[in-house]
């Protein structure tokens, strides 16, 4: 069956009722819209302009929090053009924006925990494989973006495949860059949560309500069971997730006391501090 290119309004699986407008492929449609309802796309789809802007703004917010200023460590247009000439392809919009925004920033492109061996490749290391642009390595596992359909691609047994139910590139960048940023903060720790935050079908909303004195939830990240939290003034970050069986939060702050106070405020959460935190 021919994969038809379409343009219009759509929603995205695991992103609630939020509607986006853009171009997508018929193979990305999870369910057709009925009546006035927009079709729902799979999570791993080519991003709309709005989704790309949301990613870009979050990267700028992360940069401010980890550096404490509006420092710009993106790649230059000349570096982008050199990479495109070397690769023989134009970078998809979301990949170009990523590198233009934080491509030269080690705090947002690598995990400080060297055991994870997780990093976004610098421009001079990205490469094309079977029509996919490889941009990230986690140990020996490559992550790529389809140069044409702009879906995240994964590799198994020497073949690339599209996992429809994974996050989109923009969603994945927003989470990964936050985790990288937290790993480089003065203090970072992970805590296991209990009660309704584990079992509730409204886990994200409950987390937003309970953590509001400490954090603001990022309203351009839409997953119902995960949330990105931040406080620009105090330079704090948090990543919350719940799957019905467990829930935890990863926090990055300027002092250990902030993490301890957060734990006491929300039911004596026991935090395990990162080995690379600065005491």
- Residue 214's pLDDT is 92
- Of the candidates 49, 133, 111, which has an alpha carbon nearest to the alpha carbon of residue 274? 111
Strand-pair category, 5-12 with 40-41: parallel
Task: Please give the structure tokens belonging to residue 45.
Answer: 């789809």
User: What confidence category does residue 256 fall into, taking pLDDT thresholds of 50, 70 and 90?
Assistant: very high
Q: pLDDT digit string (tens) for 130-158?
A: 999 999 999 999 999 999 999 999 999 88
Mean pLDDT of 107-135: 96
Q: Which of 21-25, 55-59, 209-213, 244-248 has the lowest mean pLDDT?
A: 244-248
- Residue 279's pLDDT is 37
All residues at 6 or more sequence positions from 90 whose CB lies less than 8 Å from its CB, including other chains: 84
- Of the candidates 236, 186, 184, which has an alpha carbon nearest to the alpha carbon of residue 215? 236
Give the pTM.
Answer: 0.94
Q: pLDDT digit string (tens) for 219-234?
A: 999 988 899 999 999 9
Considering Cα of 158, then 161, then 166, then 172, what sign does the dihedral take?
positive
- Residue 220's pLDDT is 96
Q: Which domains does the chain have, with CATH numbers?
A: 5-41 (no CATH), 49-172 (3.40.1580), 186-273 (3.30.160.110)
Distances 83 to 77, 107, 133 between C-alpha atoms, Å = 10, 22, 11
């Amino acid at each position: 069956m021919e994969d038809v290119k379409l343009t219009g309004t759509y929603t995205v699986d695991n992103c609630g009722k939020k509607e986006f407008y853009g171009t997508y492929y018929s193979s990305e449609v999870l369910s057709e819209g009925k009546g006035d309802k927009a079709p729902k796309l799979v999570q791993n789809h080519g991003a709309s302009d709005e989704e790309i802007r949301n990613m870009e703004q979050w990267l700028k917010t992360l940069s401010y929090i980890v550096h404490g200023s509006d420092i710009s460590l993106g790649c230059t247009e000349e570096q982008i053009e050199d990479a495109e000439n070397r690769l023989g392809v134009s970078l998809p919009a979301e990949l170009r924006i990523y590198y233009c925004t934080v491509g030269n920033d080690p705090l947002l492109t690598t995990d400080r925990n060297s055991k994870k061996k997780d990093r976004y490749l610098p421009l001079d290391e990205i490469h094309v494989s079977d029509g996919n642009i490889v941009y990230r390595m986690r140990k020996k596992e490559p992550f790529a973006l389809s140069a044409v359909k702009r879906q995240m691609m994964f590799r198994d047994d020497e073949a690339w495949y599209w996992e429809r139910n994974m996050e989109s590139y923009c969603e994945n960048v927003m989470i990964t860059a936050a985790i990288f940023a937290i790993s480089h903060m003065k203090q970072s720790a992970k805590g296991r949560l209990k009660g309704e935050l584990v079992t509730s079908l409204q886990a994200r909303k409950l987390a937003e309500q309970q953590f509001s004195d400490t954090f603001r939830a990022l309203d351009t990240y839409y997953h119902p069971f995960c949330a990105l939290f931040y406080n620009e003034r105090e330079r704090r970050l948090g990543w919350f997730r719940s799957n019905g069986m467990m829930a935890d939060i990863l926090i990055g702050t300027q002092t250990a006391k902030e993490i301890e106070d957060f734990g006491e405020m929300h039911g004596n959460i026991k935090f395990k501090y990162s080995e690379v935190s600065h005491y």
